[in-house]
Amino acid sequence: MDQIFIFILGVVIGVVIVWYFARNSLGGANGKTLREEQQKNKEDYKKIILQGIEMQKSITNDAVQNLLGVSDATATRYLDELEKEGKIKQVGRTGQGVFYEKR
């Protein structure tokens, strides 16, 4: 009976330790949640895209992929968000001739 109690106590302590470290590692050193960190990174990436447009006058989806090291879908999502925010506009409809410039 004592062995079962010690085993259960060990399991409970192990779960608490794992929960504590998982919570703190996902929260980061500054106490932000993983979702908050991701949102900050996305905003930083969108600023980099805007800086790229400032320097080159325009930017393509491929250039965003290379600049940020992200997938085609992620680059498209960032560009769409910037367009919806009214910060950039798309020139061209589809294909390789599409680029984005500042509004």
C-alpha–C-alpha distance, residues 61 and 47, integer Å? 15
Burial of 88 (0-12, 13-18, 19+ CB in 10 A): buried
pLDDT average, residue stretch 66-76: 94
The pTM for the full model equals 0.69
pLDDT average, residue stretch 4-11: 74
Architecture category of domain 33-103 in CATH: Orthogonal Bundle (1.10)
Mean of per-residue pLDDT scores for the chain? 86
CA 79 to chain centre: 14
Q: What is the pLDDT of residues 24-67, one digit of tens each?
A: 655 555 667 778 888 999 999 999 999 999 999 999 999 999 99
**Domain segments of the chain: what residues?**
1-31, 33-103
88-91 and 99-102 as β-strands: parallel, antiparallel, unpaired?
antiparallel
Question: Which regions of the chain does DSSP assign to beta strands (E)?
Answer: 88-91, 99-102
pLDDT at 23: 65
